[in-house]
Amino acid sequence: MYRHLFLPMLMLLLLTSIALAKGEKLVLVGSGEPDPKDNLLVENLKKWGYVVEPHQHLAKHPVNLAGIDLVFISESTSSGNILDAYKNSAVPVVNAETWTYDDMGFAADGTFNSDAGDKLTIVDTEHPITEGFKGDLTVSKPAIALMTCSGFEGDVDILAVRADNDELVAISVYEKGAKTMKGTTKAIHVNIWPHSTGWQQVTEDGWELIHRSILYGLGQIPFDVAPQDKLAVTWGQIKTAR
């Protein structure tokens, strides 16, 4: 039994070391360079092995994305300052600023919500971002504002909703080439729930979902390892091994 657990865990360590060694470069869009409220986010991004290039929302957007692997838009961003700047981004985008969704062509204005809450319900247990999680999940302790939307349109994958209101989507994905209200995406867009005033309250499970959102955008999950022994490791196996 222990041997069976050891192999997936060993592969996890190897894959983690590979991911960290790559040093992918992330643009962080927020209300500062960075705003102090995003300090914990930056700390975790660096802990996960990413190089963080912060840009305040008052600068010209989109910023130069040459050599950039992913754009992370913090909720500290004021949507009116960046509008649809990253709608046609050729690099993946992880977006926590719900009020940009109308500019991006994801949802109509007036369908956004930021009421306080602490739990999400996972509705897609097979997607690589949410695989291994089931039912209600505490993502904030205590409750903080959850950035959600009830009006998504187009080719969107719904992964999680507010536990107390399943019309409010908290995690969603538009794949590259997905149809939106304003055309089609040129890269993956992952929309997530955290409010920038509540990074300190995000739980371990919440941070794991944030990290997986980035990994998915970068194309690093699901893990697909096919050496001579054709061993594949998925998040479900990793979760079980824990």
- Condensed to tens digits (0 to 9), the pLDDT of residues 41-90 reads 999 999 999 999 999 897 889 989 999 999 999 999 989 888 999 999 99
| CB 63 within 8 Å of CB 27 | yes
Q: What is the pLDDT of residue 12?
A: 53
> Does the pTM exceed 0.95?
no
Average pLDDT over residues 146-169: 98
pLDDT above 60: residue 145: yes
Distance of CA 175 to the CA centre of its chain: 13
Query: What's the rounded Cα separation, in Å, for the pair 108 and 94?
Result: 19
Q: For residue range 110-144, what is the model confidence (pLDDT) as tens digits?
A: 999 999 999 999 999 999 999 999 999 999 999 99
Query: What's the rounded Cα separation, in Å, for the pair 75 and 126?
Result: 27
Query: What's the rounded Cα separation, in Å, for the pair 85 and 58?
Result: 12
Computed over every residue of the chain, the mean pLDDT equals 87
Backbone angles phi, psi at 146, to 5 degrees: -110, 125
Share of the chain above pLDDT 70, in %: 83
Amino acid present at 75: E
Q: For residue range 178-222, what is the model confidence (pLDDT) as tens digits?
A: 999 999 999 999 999 999 999 999 999 999 999 999 999 999 998
DSSP string, 51-63: EEEEEETTS-SSP
Strand 135-138 with 165-174, pairing: unpaired
pLDDT above 50: residue 235: no
